[in-house]
Amino acid sequence: MTDENENAPSTPATPQAGRERMIMPQPIALVGTGIPSPQPEMMARLGPNAVFMMGDNPALPPMPKAPTLLDFFRLRFSAWAVRHLLQSAKSALDAGHDEKVVMACLLHDISNGALIRTDHGYWSAQLVAPYVSEEIAWAVKYHQALRYFPDESVGYEYPEEYIRFFGPDYVPPEYIRRDAEEARKHRWYMTSRLITLYDKYSFQEGWNVDPEEFTDIIGRHFRQPKEGLGFDNSPVAHMWRTMIWPNNFL
């Protein structure tokens, strides 16, 4: 082998090459749905030619070795989530808010991007907590509860969409009422409240916000680990890795 070849970028071998790679759905995506788990059938199919998927899924765009926040926006999050987060952040920016508010808007539903929707304010806050100020993580956490409660002082009303989503008689559970109450008394209340104000589902078609527009704000308010999200051994690294390899069996 010549030196030239040694220095050439190596083509990563497809993991588990030559075999069927079965994807087991996440338990939480099945529980309560009535959709039967394919696990028994898959277990029966295991053999020299069939394994459970571990590692890169060629159906997904490859992630860089040290992924950044915007890499997840580009390569993993659903188009819906990306548009929602970018439009929310852009609205806050155009309204002249502080960068911390813009950053909180950009991150507020991040767990919906490719991880989980249920209790998304809490999951989203946890995902970003090691990398942002305590105030931004706090605001992200509490926006979920504050969404259910109007605040006339800033012109925030109960969302029309929630009437459609949950029915007109829906009452949020006790922990949501408790957390909203706690948030209202907190010194960072307005940071979280402003997220709810720019949390609009009525997307303007054709309004495409360029994620690069937030590069500088992210640089100032999000401490990207040099090893990449998922590889910095932080308490939430596994959550980012789960989004890199969402189809790993274990």
Taking the complex as a whole, the smallest distance from the CB of residue 218 to Fe ion amounts, in Å, to 18
**56 or 109: whose CB is closer to Fe ion?**
109
**133 or 196: whose CB is closer to Fe ion?**
196
Taking the complex as a whole, the smallest distance from the CB of residue 124 to Fe ion amounts, in Å, to 8
3-class DSSP state of 164:
helix
**53 or 183: whose CB is closer to Fe ion?**
183
Tokens of 225: 């680990």
Tokens of 2: 């010549």
**87 or 133: whose CB is closer to Fe ion?**
87
Site residues for Fe ion per CB under 5 A = 109, 199
Q: Which of 237, 236, 222 is nearest to 131 (CA)?
A: 222
Taking the complex as a whole, the smallest distance from the CB of residue 96 to Fe ion amounts, in Å, to 20
**53 or 110: whose CB is closer to Fe ion?**
110
Taking the complex as a whole, the smallest distance from the CB of residue 105 to Fe ion amounts, in Å, to 8
Helices (H), 22-173: 27-30, 39-45, 69-75, 79-94, 99-107, 110-114, 120-128, 134-146, 160-166
Taking the complex as a whole, the smallest distance from the CB of residue 195 to Fe ion amounts, in Å, to 8
3-class DSSP state of 14:
coil
Tell me how far apart the alpha carbons of residues 85 and 108 are, in angstroms, rounded to a whole number.
Answer: 7
Judge whether 86 and 106 are in contact, CB under 8 Å. Answer: yes
